[in-house]
Amino acid sequence: MLLPLLAAALSLVFGRFPGVQRAIGVVVLSGVVVDAAFVLAESDRHGPLVLQLGGYAPPYGITLIADRLSALLLLVSAVVTLAVLVFSIGQRITDYGRETTSTAFHPMYLVLCAGVSLAYVTGDLFTLFVAFEIMLSASYVLITRRTTAPRIRAGMTYVIVSLMSSLLFITMIALVYAATGTVNLADLADKVALLSPGVRTSLGLFVVVVFGIKAALVPLHFWLPDSYPTAPAPVTAVFAGLLTKVGVYALIRTQTLVFPHSSTSGASTFLLVVSILTMIVGALGAIAQNDLNRLMSFLLVSHIGYMIFGLALFNVVGLTGVILYVVHHITVQAALFLVGGLITRHTGTVSLRAMSGVAKAYPLIAVLFAVPALSLAGIPPLSGFVAKITLLRAGAETATPVAYVVTAGAVLTSLLTLYAVTRIWVGAFWGEVRAPLPDPDPTDEVTVGTGSTSRGMIGATAVLVVAGVAIALFAGPLSELSGRAAADLLDSAPYRTAVLGAR
């Protein structure tokens, strides 16, 4: 968390030197990858790593804690942010505005990375709120760079919804503190259990709504397909890969630590209904789209439903599937949006009806699209299949009528996803090569329709595609690690002891 913040300040100092800014970003995020790998190894070997900031005794101070789940997501997120930064440098969106002033891309991107890291390792609700605000403040700048009318319109939607969710978030924190006298997650695990059932249920529902907006659950998803598609490809990729997953992580952490449930509880049934609605509505929305980026945005919404499905089962197998799915989805979804940027770069359009022949003209891009697209649809032996088969097994083992229905809905969603990515393949890659459409905005920082891509753009996309394949290749060790993390979530005693000490 600290490395990107310091690097952001240093990047501002060297704002007039593009080469220095690029080097700072790449070196620092590479260091974060190494750091996150070390944290994962240590937390898996020795248990949660805890830091009490300022030396204040819990639950009164700020606690940072990295367990297996948060450390694994830290590592995957760090790899994605590094790859997306390399793509951004190759696409040259990092240099927009440099002829008149220093660019804000590098500092804001590094601040965003710091916010994501803080969200994973924080041990209290208020610092989690601060982490979301750090991410949102940086994302406001990144999503509205280059003030075209569509981006201003999309940016207004994004900002208004984000501000409203932040108001709900701080209100939720106030209510939790009024009811329990603490915001420390480990301490809340003990205090919330003492509340009356009505108060506990109300607070739990409030938490689901707040983080459901962040994660884009149906029917709280309306802002995402209107906001993400207008941003440059790397910005959309990091948003799609990380920001919604931070919301999912917050749901997983609070629903297992603070508001634990059983697989037969009313909360489980509620989350199962939300999950199947999210899966089906998102998939149907994707099928109806002609805009490449909007189609993938709806697919993003749809597959958040798989993660809520596994969470709602509240058993080790289900949570193992959630963790595998989050890891898979972070890499695959980011890769798909980067490939979308490559397609737009060569065709000059996001309309599926106006493009064709990309496979014949650029076969490497076709391969880079096909692998993550098939993985997203759950085709074996790719990573999506590994995660989905774990979730389906968890649904079958739960053996309740609602779980069976949602399991069938998950299979249907996979088929709808396959149909949606097939539409992209038929529209963009098949057929005869077309001349690229003229750039609709020649003054934009991203030149499209030129038929040229840098090695950095191709290489960064390939790294994420290979990372998705590696998840499948190492599915055994990763599943074992995810299983241990899932067991930690259901047995929160070691987490609470690590933060609060023996009581």
For the chain, 503 residues long, give each residue's pLDDT as a single digit of tens. 899 999 999 998 888 888 888 999 999 999 999 999 999 999 999 989 999 988 888 888 899 999 999 999 999 999 999 999 999 888 765 434 334 334 688 899 999 999 999 999 999 999 999 999 999 899 888 887 666 677 777 778 888 888 899 999 999 999 999 999 999 999 998 899 888 988 998 999 999 999 999 998 998 888 888 877 777 888 889 988 898 999 999 999 999 999 887 766 778 899 999 999 999 999 999 999 888 989 999 999 999 999 999 999 989 999 999 999 999 999 999 999 999 988 888 887 888 888 888 888 888 999 999 999 999 999 988 999 999 999 999 999 888 889 999 999 999 999 999 999 999 998 888 877 766 655 544 444 444 444 456 788 899 999 999 999 999 999 999 999 999 999 999 988 889 999 988 65
The residue assigned the tokens 């090569």 is 433
CA dihedral in degrees (92, 333, 339, 453; nearest 10)? 30
Residue 370: strand, helix, or coil: helix
Token duo for residue 248: 């999912």
Continuous segment of H or E residues that includes residue 54: none
Which region holds residue 146: left if phi is over 0, alpha if psi is between -120 and 50, else beta?
left
> Given this model, what pLDDT does residue 355 score?
82
For residues 386 and 406, what is the distance between their CA atoms, to the nearest angstrom?
Answer: 18
End-to-end C-alpha distance for the chain, whole angstroms: 30
Angle at the Cα of 35 from the Cα atoms of 29 and 38, rounded to 5 degrees: 150
Whether 312 and 331 have beta carbons less than 8 Å apart is answered as no
Domains in the chain: how many in total? Answer: 1
For residues 139 and 157, what is the distance between their CA atoms, to the nearest angstrom?
Answer: 13
> Given this model, what pLDDT does residue 503 score?
58
> Given this model, what pLDDT does residue 442 score?
46
Whether 183 and 125 have beta carbons less than 8 Å apart is answered as yes
Angle at the Cα of 267 from the Cα atoms of 266 and 273, rounded to 5 degrees: 90
> Given this model, what pLDDT does residue 94 score?
46
> CB within 8 A of 450, min separation 6: which ones?
345, 346, 436, 439
pTM over 0.85: yes
User: In whole angstroms, how far apart are CA 97 and each of 24, 137, 141, 366, 372?
Assistant: 19, 20, 13, 32, 33
Q: Which long-range contacts (CB under 8 A, 24 or more apart) does 378-385 make?
A: 378/414, 378/417, 378/418, 379/418, 381/472, 382/468, 382/469, 382/472, 383/324, 383/327, 383/328, 383/331, 383/332, 383/468, 383/469, 383/471, 383/472, 383/475, 384/328, 384/332, 385/472
Token duo for residue 194: 């003492």
Q: For residue 468, what are the domain limits?
A: 2-438+446-500
The residue assigned the tokens 């890969």 is 241
Cα 395 off chain centre by? 23
